């Protein structure tokens, strides 16, 4: 590997001094979440999905922590992420590229010990041709589409692939995989339908191990577990299911943001862009130093809240690029001053709760966390 490609998701490091947002990543909670999933799965193993900078938490720290807990399978989405992660992990860790084998990446994958997830007959053919030219066997995973129509060998290519595998053995298939579209809904019929399709594929391609479950899939039970599960969000504290079950995972991310101005406005005062909020009574406000550029979605305008020692402080008016304004009238006067910090994510507000208020999912909250926070790993 020539090292020319830097990890594209690497974040700027802001010095703690002067930062107006503190992002805390609780590495020990991450480790406990991994251990919990491992014990739910045992004897099946748990990989780690670390795409998008480990869902925004910092792929190097996350991957190293999980490697130290005997995780040996790491999934990224993109080739460049794999190239960046490869030198971070020992060679006995396997790195898989979910988005597949893009033309031109074959040599780097082969030389760099990166395992492509082959998503089509044509990708297998190119990988096999690479193996032939190197006069060696190359490892791969084959992904099948079981009803999501996103990535994976489509049904109409299956027989040609089976024939190819029977005639040419220079690609070593480590396991076959598929991805669940509705695993966050335990009762969804789509889970059943995809499992049935996966079972059919496993019969067609008998002899290969199966990798199927994401975080939600782990909670669907043993038939979904295969030999290796691929959790992402559950590692990072997100709820694996979203149909009302309590979240069994521990929160990993905390976010505190500084107050940069306070004021009292009279009845009728317009607050924020567009005058979208008008004070109904005299109101005490605080301006908080994080906005949509820092991952607080603009859809939180007039919705959602931050917390101060458990007191809910509703967001009023529109979310700006660099700030939000909150109503602090519920706090005794003078409680918040310049330099006070309020909780955006923490004991009173989970990533799932903030996501719900923003009309999105925890995944998007985590992967949008800005790079203007200083980051602490605990
Ligand atoms: C992102 C992803 C995962 C992880 O999903 P979570 O819901 O975060 O556990 C697993 N498999 C594939 C193919 C993915 O794209």
22 pLDDT band, cuts 50/70/90, is very high
236 belongs to the catalytic site: no
Q: How far is the CA of 226 from the centre of ligand 1 (A)?
A: 15
pLDDT at 12 over 70: no
Render pLDDT for 209-254 as a digit per residue (tens, 0 to 9): 999 999 999 999 999 999 999 999 999 999 999 998 999 999 999 9
pLDDT at 33 over 90: yes
Q: What local confidence, expressed as pLDDT, does residue 5 receive? A: 45
pLDDT at 2 over 70: no
Strand ranges (E), the chain: 21-25, 45-46, 48-49, 73-76, 94-97, 114-118, 138-143, 171-177, 210-211, 228-229, 253-265, 270-271, 277-278, 283-288, 305-308, 311-316, 324-327, 341-345, 374-377
Contact assessment for residue 305 and residue 326, using Cβ atoms and an 8 Å cutoff = yes
User: Is the beta carbon of 179 within 6 A of some atom in ligand 1?
Assistant: yes
Q: What is the second-level CATH architecture of the domain 27-229?
A: Alpha-Beta Barrel (3.20)
- Residue pointed to by tokens 């990988």: 127
Closest C-alpha among 278, 283, 238, 236 to residue 263: 283
273 belongs to the catalytic site: yes
User: For 190-210, b where at least 16 C-beta lie within 10 A, e where not — what string?
Assistant: ebeebbebbeebbeebeebeb
User: Is the beta carbon of 86 within 6 A of some atom in ligand 1?
Assistant: no
Q: Distance (Å, rounded) from C-alpha 206 to C-alpha 133?
A: 28
Task: Kindly state the DSSP code that residue 142 receives in the 8-state scheme.
Answer: E
Question: What is the chain's mean pLDDT, rounded?
Answer: 95
Q: How do the domains of the chain map onto residue ranges?
A: 27-229, 253-377
Q: What is the pTM of this model?
A: 0.94
Render pLDDT for 155-201 as a digit per residue (tens, 0 to 9): 999 999 999 999 999 999 999 999 999 999 999 999 999 999 999 99
| Residue tagged active-site, from 51, 224, 292, 308 | 51
Q: How far is the CA of 75 from the centre of ligand 1 (A)?
A: 9
Q: What local confidence, expressed as pLDDT, does residue 7 receive? A: 44
14 pLDDT band, cuts 50/70/90, is low
CB burial of residue 60 (10 Å; 0-12, 13-18, 19+): middle
User: Is the beta carbon of 119 within 6 A of some atom in ligand 1?
Assistant: no
Considering the chain, what percentage of its residues have pLDDT values greater than 90? 93
The superfamily CATH assigns to domain 253-377 is Lyase, Ornithine Decarboxylase; Chain A, domain 1 (2.40.37.10)
């Amino acid at each position: 590997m020539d090292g020319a490609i830097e990890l594209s998701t690497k974040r700027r490091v802001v010095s703690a001094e002067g930062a107006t947002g503190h992002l805390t990543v609780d590495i020990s909670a991450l480790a406990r979440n991994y251990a919990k999933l491992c014990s739910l799965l045992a004897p099946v193993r748990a990989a780690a999905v670390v795409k998008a900078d480990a869902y925004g938490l910092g792929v190097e720290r996350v991957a190293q922590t999980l490697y130290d807990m005997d995780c040996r399978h790491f999934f990224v989405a993109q080739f460049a992420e794999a190239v960046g992660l490869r030198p971070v992990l020992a060679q006995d860790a396997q790195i898989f590229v979910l988005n597949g084998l893009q033309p031109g990446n074959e040599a780097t994958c082969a030389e760099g010990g990166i395992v492509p997830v082959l998503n089509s007959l044509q990708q297998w053919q190119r990988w096999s041709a690479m193996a032939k030219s190197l006069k060696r066997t190359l490892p791969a995973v084959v992904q099948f589409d079981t009803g999501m129509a996103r990535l994976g060998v489509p049904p109409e290519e299956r027989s040609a692939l089976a024939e190819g595998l029977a005639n040419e053995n220079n690609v070593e298939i480590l396991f076959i995989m598929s991805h669940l579209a509705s695993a966050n809904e335990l009762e969804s019929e789509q889970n059943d339908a995809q499992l049935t399709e996966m079972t059919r594929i496993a019969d067609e391609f008998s002899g290969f191990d199966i990798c199927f479950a994401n975080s939600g899939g782990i909670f669907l039970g043993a038939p979904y577990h295969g030999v290796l599960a691929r959790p992402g969000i559950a590692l990072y504290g997100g709820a694996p299911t979203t149909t009302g079950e309590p979240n069994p995972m521990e929160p990993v991310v905390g976010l505190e943001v500084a107050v940069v101005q306070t004021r009292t406005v009279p009845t009728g005062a317009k607050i924020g862009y567009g005058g979208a909020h008008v004070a109904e009574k005299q109101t005490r406000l605080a301006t908080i130093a994080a906005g949509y550029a820092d991952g607080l979605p603009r859809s939180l305008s007039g919705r959602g809240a931050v917390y101060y020692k458990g007191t809910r402080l509703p967001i009023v008016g529109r979310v700006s690029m660099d700030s939000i304004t909150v109503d602090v009238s519920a706090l005794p006067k003078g409680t918040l001053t310049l330099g006070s910090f309020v909780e955006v994510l923490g004991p009173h507000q989970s990533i799932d709760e903030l996501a719900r208020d923003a009309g999105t999912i925890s995944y998007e909250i985590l992967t949008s966390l800005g790079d203007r926070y200083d980051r602490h790993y605990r």
